[in-house]
Amino acid sequence: CYTTDTKSREENKKTVESLHRLSVDIKKIRRLKEWVLLQDVAYVKEIAGILQEMGADETTVANILERCPEAILHTPAEINSQRALWQLVCQNEKQLIKLIEQFPESFFTTEYHENQKANILFFQELGLKNNIITRFLTSAPNIFYNHVEKNKNLIETLQRNYLNLGGSDANMKIWILKLLSQNPFILLNTSTVIQENLEFLQKNDFTDHEVLQLLSKLKGFIFQLTPTTMQKSMLFSQNVFKCSDQELKQLVLKCPALLYYSVPVLEERLEGLLKEGISVAQIRETPMVLELTTQIVQYRIKKLSALGYDIRSGSLESLNGTKKDFEVNYGKIQSKKERPIFNPVAPINIED
């Protein structure tokens, strides 16, 4: 247990000397987390020793301690326990040290050790692969701080709703695992939020099958919204596209971004498209274009214009999709416009 509140403002000379011997940039620590150097007790040699045992070289150890100097304030016993815990999901210590170097803060958060352990075992029982669990540990560590019972209850709520919406027992496990893999932050919500959001969709005449469809398309992000924000986004879209409730529902199913993005975001993207000379009718025909940021749209229009393709007179389909999708479409348009570099029947000019 350590504190950022220290009585004396003097650095611990032993700590500074030990870090210096490990080629750690002390100035960097002073600039970012000086409070670490003021603590009476630190375990510099011991923590460096554990990292070296795992295969970290001198440069790696220095990098880790520069990025997360508070690591030296944990006892060797705490770090060894954390090491054993992460080894449950890592292939080997080489992979483990690589993860620690990339995400030291996640590894050196030891306060929730028991919760982390219980959740790792729960996720394994659930059927999540170890490589997915390691991704959670590094990119979404907060979900492991929950008591395992909270995560279990939330998963049960999702399973119950999936079945109530007409999902089958046979597909439920695959659906849950996919949802978690795409968006582990679902677990930071409460069962009440999940229930309220699903009820909002049902009140807006989405059938059970359509609600399931939206859950899959939105990768669980729907649970990070509220009925109020969804209502505002839908009303905005309805006013822009001048459509009936039924037509709006079809647009949302086609492009869930109309439900997910807030009004200011939709407004900005719409304005960006209109400035490029694109009509509201075109956007209504291909609403998925609103999933793209204004900068991406401008870049793609510029590239297509260079080929002589006028986006204002045709479909917006060529703008859509991921970067890879766009490159494929762009390549097809480009190949149609290009002419052969070598013309076999053209005369050859030879200069002496």
Q: Is the pLDDT of residue 146 over 50?
A: yes
* Confidence bin at 268 (pLDDT 50/70/90): very high
Q: Is residue 50 part of a domain?
A: yes
Instruction: Enter the tokens of residue 156.
Output: 């049960």
Residue 289 contacts residue 319 (beta carbons within 8 Å):
yes
Pair of tokens at residue 101? 């170097």
Residue pair 197/223 in contact (Cβ under 8 Å)? The answer is: yes
167 and 214 Cβ atoms separated by less than 8 Å: no
- The amino acid sitting at 296 is I
77 part of a folded domain: yes
Q: How confident is the model at residue 184 (pLDDT cuts 50, 70, 90)?
A: very high
pLDDT tens, position by position, 40-61: 999 999 999 999 999 999 999 9
Asked if residue 22 is part of any domain, the answer here is yes
Evaluate the CA torsion angle 53, 56, 62, 66 in order and state its sign: negative
Average pLDDT estimate for 25-54: 94
Asked if 237 and 270 touch (Cβ cutoff 8 Å), the reply is no
Q: Would you say residue 176 lies in a domain?
A: no
Assigned domain for 272 exists: no
Residue 79 lies in a domain: yes
Q: How far apart are CA 350 and CA 137, in angstroms?
A: 67
* Domain boundaries, position 97: 9-110
Closest CA to 111 of 140, 61, 70: 70
In terms of Cα–Cα distance, which of 127, 122, 110 is closest to 147?
122
Q: Report whether pLDDT(150) > 50.
A: yes
Whether residue 224 is predicted with pLDDT greater than 80 in this model: the reply is yes
Tokens of 282: 């075109």
- 10 Å Cβ neighbour count for 171? 11
- Percentage of the chain lying above the pLDDT 70 cut: 93
Note whether 19 and 42 are within 8 A (CB): no
User: What is the number of domains present in the chain?
Assistant: 1
Q: Which residue has the higher pLDDT, 348 or 230?
A: 230
Establish if 102 belongs to a structural domain: yes
Q: Which residue has the higher pLDDT, 93 or 222?
A: 93
Q: Assess if residue 73 is contained within a domain.
A: yes
pLDDT of amino acid 287 = 92
